Amino acid sequence: MPRVLGFDIGRVLVVLFMVWYGFLNLNHPEHWMFLDGVNLIIHEAGHVLWRLFGEFLYFLGGSLTQILVPLVFVVYFWRSNQRFAACMAAFWTATSLFNLSVYVGDARAMELPLLGGDNVEHDWNWILSNLNALNADHVLSSIVYATGLLYLVLSVAGGLYFAKGDKNPLPWALKRSVKISKMRNLGSLSEAMLAKIGVNSSADLEQLGAVEAFKRLQAGDEKVSLVMLYAMHGALTDQAWEMLPPLERQALKLAVER
């Protein structure tokens, strides 16, 4: 896709769609929108899944699954360094929370048309009645709605930030120094190896850089392999070292040989 000022135009268009859809959903969560159909299918599937674990989880399971499924995608995409996709999944989570807030808030009134007609039990009327908390339906609904608003803001802000690319480094305020063994691609052996050259944390490694750290390791241990170089670079850029593009590996190797 073409880029303007470093932003991927296709991703910017997706973010604009998220803003438009999110604004409509935020102001009128009771209006049925096309993602609600997806959430409904997942909700009903959740009932089937959780019915194996007792009556309470059967009733709660629809709503629980409706929220957990998009959250699983958020975690998966984030951990696989697909930051923009993670933001889209967070947006999906927001729409699901808005949808759920309407259902929770209907616990006493029971005015919503339910799949299956009048013979179907209202999940949140049953849940809150059994918890002796039916009068808390509007409060709980507001909490779910507010959580959806938080996810909406984060997804739009994150989507715009990562519209420049998934490898766009996180803002400094979101970073914290961690032990070497806690970094991606690195473990206790790498931690012991790097400690010999005075690198004891992610901040130390970031300040020194993967290439210079590798050169210092080579100076003290001739047996260190290029895998360590790739692993350190991947740790600093949040990439699995095995997935580094060949050109990126070649550039790192050339930098070491200079």
Inform me whether the pLDDT recorded for 173 exceeds 60: no
The pLDDT tens digits for 49-86 are 999 999 999 999 999 999 999 999 999 998 887 899 99
Give CA–CA dist 74/95, Å, rounded. 14
As a whole number, the mean pLDDT across the chain is 89
Give CA–CA dist 38/183, Å, rounded. 36
As assigned by CATH, the class of the 172-257 domain is: mainly alpha
Residues paired with 201 in a beta bridge: 179
DSSP alpha helix (H) spans, the chain: 9-27, 34-50, 55-79, 83-105, 123-130, 137-161, 188-195, 202-208, 210-220, 226-237, 246-257
Inform me whether the pLDDT recorded for 116 exceeds 70: no
pTM greater than 0.75 (yes/no): no
The pLDDT assigned to 146 comes to: 97
CATH 1.10.150.20 in the chain, residue ranges? 172-257
H/E stretch holding 7 reads strand 7-8
Give CA–CA dist 96/67, Å, rounded. 6
Give CA–CA dist 167/2, Å, rounded. 17
The Cβ of residue 208 has, within 10 Å, a number of other Cβ atoms equal to 18
